[in-house]
């Protein structure tokens, strides 16, 4: 089952612009996490936000969580060509001690 659905499926921007990706989910969660995947590689953990948090920052990343709307957004500011990758949200809950991943957003940053 795919709990999280990212939007948009693909995004193309110019270097220096901001990129925003959204994630919606269906059930109650303990936390929501964002990962990055470069083509053909494993995923890299970016940030974790707990269900009682509304916003979190890490470097150029800003994540928001709205549990009433069951949605989250990932903002990458001042994007770089090296940010080109697929980005996935993943949700965790106490009922199953494993993450459920969304379908991902493919981000292309043009130099």
Partner 1 sequence: DGGITQSPKYLFRKEGQNVTLSCEQNLNHDAMYWYRQDPGQGLRLIYYSQIVNDFQKGDIAEGYSVSREKKESFPLTVTSAQKNPTAFYLCASSRAGDRGPYGYTFGSGTRLTVV
Please, which residue, 68 or 94, has the CB nearer to partner 1? 94
Q: Which residues bind partner 1 (CB under 8 A)?
A: 1-2, 4, 30-31, 33, 35, 40-45, 48, 50, 88, 90, 92, 94, 96-104
Cβ proximity to partner 1, 26 vs 45, nearer residue: 45
Q: Which of 108, 101, 98 is nearest to 35 (CA)?
A: 101
CA 58 to each of CA 15, 77, 91, 97: distance values in angstroms, whole numbers, following the listed order: 19, 11, 19, 25
Least distance between partner 1 and beta carbon 88 (Å): 6
List helix spans (H) across 41-107: none
């Amino acid at each position: 089952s795919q709990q999280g659905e990212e939007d948009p499926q693909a995004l193309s921007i110019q270097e220096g612009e901001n990129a925003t990706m959204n994630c919606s989910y269906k059930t109650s969660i303990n936390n929501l996490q964002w990962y990055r995947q470069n083509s053909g590689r494993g995923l890299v953990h970016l940030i974790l936000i707990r269900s009682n948090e509304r916003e979190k920052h890490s470097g150029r990343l800003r994540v928001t969580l709205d549990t009433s709307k069951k949605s989250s957004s990932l903002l990458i500011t001042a994007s770089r060509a090296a940010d080109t990758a697929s980005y996935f949200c993943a949700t965790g809950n106490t009922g199953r001690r494993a993450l459920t991943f969304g379908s991902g957003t493919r981000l292309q940053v043009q130099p």
